[in-house]
Amino acid sequence: MNERIRVPEIRLIGAEGQQVGVVKTFDALRMAKEQELDLVLISPQTVPPVARILDFGKFKYEQTKHDKGTKKSKSSSGIKEVKLTVKIGEHDFLVRVTKAREFLEKKQRVKVSLYFKGREVTHREFGDRVLSRFLEAVIDLGKQESPIKLEGRNLVLQLVPK
């Protein structure tokens, strides 16, 4: 930026985005100071390096604003998990269904894990019943992505929004 640019010539882009051409760094600095703006090196790897005349403070502000926006949208696109057990109570089951429906309405994927305790794992059919009941409760908002599979002591159901 500005006086820290140590190359003799640069390809200059003006304040409005127009191509100025290849100019000496000293002349580019003078042009930037006349407009009360900064000379910023955009692409130092190219020959000759590319620099642009712009307001660096405004540029940094817009960059952080853009980064926050992408970070916000990125965090919501992850997969959400809802955990169940074979002997889950009716109210607890309805709470999990409500949460899964909220996630699906927000266009998020949902992983439903049903954990077997102790010897319950020998009776997989009980877990299948709970998961099929769960699937019926959310089928209007989401669809089953893959068949229900056993991963260790968990039965896993993947749901994607419609």
CATH of the domain at 33: 3.10.20.80
pLDDT band of 74, cuts 50, 70, 90: low
Q: Where are the beta strands (DSSP E) in 44-151?
A: 50-54, 79-85, 109-115, 142-144, 149-151
Total count of domains within the chain: 2
With a cut of 60, say whether residue 60 has pLDDT above it.
Answer: yes
> Could you tell me if 87 and 37 lie in one domain?
no
Residue 106 lies in a domain: yes
> Could you tell me if 35 and 96 lie in one domain?
no
> Could you tell me if 117 and 157 lie in one domain?
yes
> Could you tell me if 102 and 44 lie in one domain?
no
Distance (Å, whole) CA 87 – CA 126: 9
With a cut of 80, say whether residue 30 has pLDDT above it.
Answer: yes
Residue 147 lies in a domain: yes
Phi and psi dihedrals of 139, rounded to 5? -65, -25
> Could you tell me if 92 and 146 lie in one domain?
yes
Predicted pLDDT of residue 77? 61
Q: Which domain holds residue 133?
A: 78-161
